[in-house]
Amino acid sequence: MKYYMVLAISCVLLIILTITDALPGDLVEPIDKPFVEYYDSKELNVITVGDWGFEGIELNQTNSNQIKVAKAMETWAVNYHSDFIINTGDNFYISFVGDHEGVTSVDDPKWDRIWKGRYKGRLAKIPWYSVAGNHDWYNNVTAQVDYSLNYDSRFFLPSTYFVRESYFGKRKTKIAWIHIDTGIFFYTPAELEEVDKVIMKQQFERFGWNNTQAIEEKLKWVEDRLIEQQNSKWIFVVGHHPLVGICAQEYYMGRLRPLFEKYRVAAYFSGHAHTLEIEFAKFGQPVTYFLSGAGSRTDERCLEEDWGAPENVLGFLHSTINDTQMTYEFVDSTTLEPKIIYKGSVFPRPYYSY
């Protein structure tokens, strides 16, 4: 009798555990152990694009914004033999009446239509190292992680926080890429009450991310990874929300810049604002802040940047990283004849802040 009761209780427990498993908060929790990549080449070529998942055609335009940017990216990827994409998030938007935000599941037709269907040639062969943007959180963010883990790891989002180490060239120069989810830092509890953020809020609650302790834990995770990566020649951080202008001050976002500066991050790559912008490293501020969020839409600039593309410019960022510097160019792909609109370079992390 007792034995059966234990068995029955175990069964119930097992069912509960299985159900909890079906709501996989753990899938989005930070992964501490770095993913490691090796490249024989003496440099790495990288395309950074964000906010690319809008498939519609905007007012007064004949060509889809996304397709124009995708075509230019493909040209650059072939010319420079790009090694991978850095995807700064907002992978799927509402593009037409009746459409939904983000993706609903791993089977959502948007995977094939908006990602695989639009980025062809070399862009369809190389990994897309990703973060989730707010529009991804407006629907099932776990489905994006699940897709990466179980369906196609070329869309690389094994969690919402993870670290990659890329080693290249004879000297095995090490780059650390720390991918972070900035949603939890950006949106105040009051903003999470807004109607478009219902699902985001629900997911935060389900994952236990709806309190300041969880936010502090994520900040601690970022700091721990930065400490761990101090032997890297380059440290780059990738997140969705920008750290220039007014965006840098939102809610807990203000805690990130001091961390990046203290631990000598070379550059931070973001999207969210549908623009191309940069804040340079300068005396007393060793980090370069890139904003590449014009992969399918355009809008106003963040302001307080050092350089920004004019309004309504679509495009992406291309960069070449070697032992001694990273050269970069912003590519305007608003027309079918893309052009470089800004060029510069960034140096590896200095030993002392300058």
Ligand X SMILES: *[C@@H]1O[C@H](CO)[C@@H](O)[C@H](O)[C@H]1NC(C)=O
Q: In angstroms, what is the minimal distance from the CB of 65 to ligand X?
A: 13
Neighbours of 89 (CB within 10 A): 30
Over the window 159 to 198, marking each residue x when it contacts ligand X by CB under 6 A and - when it does not, the resulting string is ----------------------------------------
What radius of gyration do the chain's Cα atoms show? 21
Q: In angstroms, what is the minimal distance from the CB of 7 to ligand X?
A: 28
The C-alpha angle 87, 91, 94, rounded to 5 degrees, equals 155
Q: In angstroms, what is the minimal distance from the CB of 106 to ligand X?
A: 5
* Residue of the chain from 60, 96, 195, 337 that contacts ligand X (CB under 6 A): 60
Over the window 81 to 120, marking each residue x when it contacts ligand X by CB under 6 A and - when it does not, the resulting string is -----------------------xxx--------------
Q: In angstroms, what is the minimal distance from the CB of 296 to ligand X?
A: 16
Between 134 and 140, CB nearer to ligand X = 140
Between 146 and 299, CB nearer to ligand X = 146
Between 20 and 230, CB nearer to ligand X = 20
Residue 296 · residue 271 · CB < 8 Å: no
Q: In angstroms, what is the minimal distance from the CB of 323 to ligand X?
A: 4
Q: Which stretch binds ligand X (CB under 6 A): 84-92, 138-146, 262-270, 330-338?
A: 138-146
Count of residues touching ligand X (by CB under 6 A): 18
* Residue of the chain from 5, 19, 59, 195 that contacts ligand X (CB under 6 A): 59
Q: Which residues are within 8 A (CB) of 3 and not within 5 positions of it... i.e. 6 or more apart?
A: none
* Residue of the chain from 45, 65, 140, 333 that contacts ligand X (CB under 6 A): 140
Residue 272 · residue 248 · CB < 8 Å: no
3-state secondary structure of 234: strand
| CA contacts within 13 A on the Cβ side of 350 | 15
Between 210 and 353, CB nearer to ligand X = 210
Over the window 219 to 258, marking each residue x when it contacts ligand X by CB under 6 A and - when it does not, the resulting string is ----------------------------------------
Q: Which 308-327 positions form the footprint of ligand X (CB under 6 A)?
A: 322-325, 327
Question: How many angstroms separate the CA atoms of 159 and 312, rounded?
Answer: 33
Q: Which 14-53 positions form the footprint of ligand X (CB under 6 A)?
A: 22
Q: Give long-range contacts, CB 8 A cutoff, 24+ apart: 169-173.
A: 169/39, 169/40, 169/41, 169/42, 169/43, 169/322, 169/323, 170/42, 171/323, 172/38, 173/233, 173/234, 173/322, 173/323
Element (H, E) at 6: helix 2-22
Partners of residue 167 on adjacent β-strands: 38, 174
CA distances from 344 to 26, 81, 167, 325, 329 (A): 40, 20, 23, 10, 7
Q: In angstroms, what is the minimal distance from the CB of 8 to ligand X?
A: 27
Partners of residue 342 on adjacent β-strands: 330
Q: In angstroms, what is the minimal distance from the CB of 112 to ligand X?
A: 16
Residues that bind ligand X (CB under 6 A): 22, 59-60, 104-106, 140, 142-143, 146, 205, 210-211, 322-325, 327
